[in-house]
Amino acid sequence: MKCPASHRIAAVVVYTMTACAVLRPCHGFRIAASPARCHLHALTHQRHAPTPSAIAGAGHARIYPLGSLSRLYSSSSDDDTDGKARVLFLGTPDVAASSLRAIHDASQSPGCPYELVGVVTQPPKRRKRRGKEIHSPVGLAAEELGLPILCPEKAKDKDFLDQLEGEVRPDLCITAAYGQYLPKRFLATPKLGTLNIHPSLLPRWRGSSPVQRSLEAGDNPVGVSVLFTVSKMDAGPIVAQESLEIDENEQATTLLPTLFDIGTKCLVDALPKVLDGEITMDTADAQDEALVAEAGMISAAEGQLWPSKEDSTTIHNRVRGFSMWPGTFLYFRIGDDEAKDPVKVKVIESRVLDETAEPTDVIEIGPKKGDGLWLVCGDGSVLEMLKVQPATRNVMDAKSFVNGLQGQTVRWLSGVDS
C-alpha cells in the first residue's frame, strides 16, 4: 500500500532533522558535520521561488534537503536544449555583489551563451552578539536574484566539493573577492576553468591587499586584471587587463569598487571567447615572474605614522591606501602638560603641499580659509590633514578640531607605540 503524500513529507522532514545538526527557519538548512566541524549552508531558491518576505508572510519556511539541489540546478537535465554554459559565481563583499549583479544582468540578454546556476559565498555571520545571522552582501544579492546559495565553512570541505561535482557541475567558475583559498579539487571541477577579477596590474601586487599596496606605493596608473585561477596565488595567465589613471588623492575606499566595475566589464566582454574555447589557460597571456610584487596582508600596526622618519608623500600614500582598514593614526599632545596622556588621532583625509618648512613638532592650521592642519615632517615636507578623528570622537574637519582646542598648542609625538 502506498504511503500518503503527507506521511512521505513527514518522513523526509524527520530524516532531515536526524541527519542535520541545525535546522533553520529559512530557505534552506545547514548541515554540521561534527567530525570536520563543517558547516554547509544550502540556502536555495527554486527558479521562480517566492520572495523571502512572501514566505515569511505565509508563516512557514521552505526547507530543501541537500539532495534536492539536483532539481534546483536543473539546466543540465535531459530536457534542457538551450546549450548554455553553466557558470558558478564565488564572492563575498559589496564589490563582489555589484559584480554578481552585472554578470547576472548580462546573462539575461538575448543570445547570451551562459547562465548563472548558483553562488558560493562566506557563511552568514551575526553582526551583534545576540542578533540573527545575516548573509554576506553577495548572499543577499543572490537572494534578490533568486539564485541558489552555497556557504561552505571552507572551500576544501568534502561535502561542498562532492556537491560541486555531483550536482552543481559548473562549466566555468568566476571569483571576485571570495576570500578563501580554492583547492586543486575545486579548480579541476569546471572544464573551462575558473576566472578571477583581481584589482591590480598583474604581476604587480599579487596577494590579499593589491589596491592598498598599490596606493601605498604611489602607483599611477593602477588597474585590474582578469585571469585564470591556478594553485599559486594570482599567478594564472591573464585573459584581460585594463589600466586607470587616478587622482593623486584617490583613496582605496573609492578606488576598489571602481576597479571591480571595470574588471567585471572586462570579464563579461571576454566570456564569449572563453566559453567557445578561443581563450584558454594555454592561449591567455602568461605572467612575467620577474615583475612580481607581493601585496601581503596588512597589519594594524602599519597604520601608525612616523613624521620624524617619513616624508609627507609616504604618509599621504599610506592614508590613501589604508582608508578602509586599518586606517592611519598618530599621537598628539594637546596642551603643555607633559603628564597628560597623548591622544590617538586618526588621519582620515590628507594632501601633500608643495611648500616646505622648518621641521617642527607643532601642528597648526593653515593660513587660508579652508586650510587643514599642517604637519611638518622631519625632512621639511608638509602634509595637510583635512579631516581627522580624535579617539572617541566623530570625524571632523581641521577648523572643528582647532575650535575644540581652546587655544591649546598641539604637537605630534614620536616614539609612542600603539
Q: 290 is written with which cell numbers?
A: 620577474
The pLDDT confidence band at residue 22, using thresholds 50, 70 and 90, is very low
The angle formed by the CA atoms of residues 333, 338 and 342, to the nearest 5 degrees, is 35
Q: Are strands 328-334 and 343-356 parallel, antiparallel or unpaired?
A: antiparallel
Q: Tell me if 258 sits within 8 A of 243, measured CB to CB.
A: no
| Residues 349-360: tens digit of each pLDDT | 999 999 999 999
> Can the peptide bond before residue 203 be classed as cis, meaning omega within 30 degrees of 0?
yes
Residues facing 356 on adjacent strands:
381
Determine the Cα–Cα distance for residues 247 and 51; give it in Å rounded to an integer: 42
pLDDT(339) > 90: no
pLDDT at residue 418, as a whole number? 62
Q: Tell me if 382 sits within 8 A of 375, measured CB to CB.
A: yes
- Average pLDDT for 31-43: 37
- Block residue for cell numbers 573551462: 192
Element at 358 (helix H, strand E):
none
- Helix spans in 276-359 (H): 312-321
| Residues 92-135: tens digit of each pLDDT | 999 999 999 999 999 999 999 999 999 999 999 887 777 788 99
Percent of the chain surpassing pLDDT 70: 80
The candidate with the shortest Cα–Cα distance to 301, out of 280, 318, 313, is: 318
Determine the Cα–Cα distance for residues 387 and 390; give it in Å rounded to an integer: 10
Q: 134 is written with which cell numbers?
A: 545575516
- Average pLDDT for 234-252: 98
Determine the Cα–Cα distance for residues 418 and 304; give it in Å rounded to an integer: 7
Determine the Cα–Cα distance for residues 36 and 197; give it in Å rounded to an integer: 31
Residues sharing a CB contact under 8 Å with residue 182, sequence separation 6 or more, in sequence order: 90, 155, 175, 194, 229
pLDDT(402) > 80: yes
Any idea what DSSP says for residue 340?
S
Determine the Cα–Cα distance for residues 263 and 222; give it in Å rounded to an integer: 12
Q: Using CB atoms within 10 Å of the CB of residue 92, give its burial: 0 to 12 exposed, 13 to 18 middle, 19+ buried.
A: buried
Determine the Cα–Cα distance for residues 241 and 143; give it in Å rounded to an integer: 31
The pLDDT confidence band at residue 34, using thresholds 50, 70 and 90, is very low
The pLDDT confidence band at residue 136, using thresholds 50, 70 and 90, is very high
Q: 178 is written with which cell numbers?
A: 571570495
